[in-house]
Structure 1
Amino acid sequence: MAPSLALDGGTDDYRVTPPPVTGRFPSVYSDVQNTRNFHALPLPSVLKTPFKIVDGPQSSAAGNPDEIAKLFPNLFGQPSAMLVSSDSDTVQHNQKLKVGVVLSGGQAPGGHNVISGIFDYLQDSAKGSTLYGFRGGPAGIMKCKYVELTSDGRDKIETPEQFKQAEETVNKLDLDGLVVIGGDDSNTNACLLAEYFRSKNVKTHVVGCPKTIDGDLKCKEVPTSFGFDTACKVNKAMQIVFTVHL
């Protein structure tokens, strides 16, 4: 695996760093995904050492403070939170936390990086903590629909029991079609699922949609899949940065 680049503090001092130890399993990712996963992003200097949270200046508003104070009577004027260097972290390594995270609003690049950052921090600094992801945005909070986020990697439909569960699901929903979006492995799985459905006289038609950053799923009708172009551009950009600053 290629080494990654890290920006040291707020300077232009680039250095090569080994892949950090995280809770993810590299074996389920492509080379490009691993390069992105192990790319050490620039961090504020205070986050590179143990820190604590202290009260900062009283919070206010850029405009209409009186009106905003009426809207937020319990929050307005409270001290702001400041992170300062300390001899020990605010979160103790033996302190187990339970944290929920939700993607809200429109889709935008970087949202999953935040989730990964929270997961990695809890794994590194508060071992044994639990991270819950709420499904469907804010509706997941209201309806208590969530899933525990772990490092177990991807799911596949492989065993007879799993094929049976898939059959029960599509029958319960009375699905006419099931679209599987994925790479060569996922589309092979979709083909096996379609074969199983046909053998059981299930009416659901399975459609495979090629999506892979590896560029290894193509034919005359589909010369390349979406995702591959972005992966090439990201990989090329990283190579250029690595070459220029090495």
Structure 2
Amino acid sequence: MDSDYGIPRELSDLQKLRSQYQPQLPPCLQGTTVRVEFGDATTAADPSGAHTISRSFPHTYGQPLAHFMRETAKVPDARIITEHPAIRVGVVFCGRQSPGGHNVIWGLLDALKVHNPNSTLLGFLGGSDGLFAQKTLEVTDDILATYKNQGGYDLLGRTKDQIRTTEQVNAALNACTSLKLDGLVIIGGVTSNTDAAQLAETFAERKCPTKVLGHIGYHILAAGLNGYMATVTNLKNPLNKWRCGAAPITSMMTVKRYGRGHGAVTLGKPALHPAAVDLKGKSYELLRQNGTKFLMDDVYRNPGPLQFEGPGADAKAVTLCVEDQDYMGRIKKLQGHLDKVRSIVKPGCSQDVLKAALSAMASVTDILSVMSSPTSGSTPY
């Protein structure tokens, strides 16, 4: 086992509080009895692409949808599974950092052990490279204890991942066969899930018993692929009292199409919907207190608890730029530049100097005019 992976960690007070949270399982996944009903065959979102997809995935496309139900559900055609033989499952982190990856492993381990204590969960160390090289770590409750509800992928690590080429697919197939895996869970983003779908098709074509499952980390709660999440507390309050805890600026904008050409009608403009910010609140006060430290130590600093330790901890995944707050000092600096221009560009200066000054000042005034114009103004294009 690589020394950087799976080692117990010292947790901060905040991390200790986060580790105490116990996610709630839906009723259909509670207990040891599995009730499943197989429904209609899977279809393409766009019917016109069904033929193309079925040709590319002849072994996996059109499989029936599985509906899991709670134990008390009264469905006559439901299949009840009470016997759970011991199985071996592998899990690998792929793609970019995303919240919830460690909790996927936590839930997977709990489910395996609840249904059969003799089941085994193997984590591949170092992402897909570890899968190809068959570098594994058996995940246990003790190993997972300090990673529950914590961000990052540092329990197992990751690399610049893809499982796409013939050589990579064959290496993954050999690993699953050699380790006698019943299942392989690939945790990542959209690209990783695409690779998982193709890998599942290849395994089925070659009659490999390993079943491949792709999972997007926190795909239900995360907004797109931006890695940010909005946290809203106390949902019982009226909507006008909600406060935005953390959200990307793109999630606050509405962008519509523009009309083009002479006489075209403007169909919409980007609109920024402001969120209320308490400038006297604790969060803003904390930022002001640490602003000088951020500025002196590093212009860019990662403010979020995405990953504290392990591989990738030094990467600045999210950037926070704290600017100089000397507003009047910048005004004086601008006036100094303008005075210098006046001293250079005056009667008797060369034509080249005059042309350069005109071109530069025209560009500056155009940009400033657009930036200072009201949002109801017409679009420059």
Q: TM-score range by the shorter chain?
A: 0.3 to 0.5
TM-score (normalised: structure 1)? 0.46
TM-score (norm 2): 0.31
Q: Based on CA coordinates, which of the two structures has the bigger radius of gyration?
A: 2
Higher normalized strand content (fraction of residues): 1
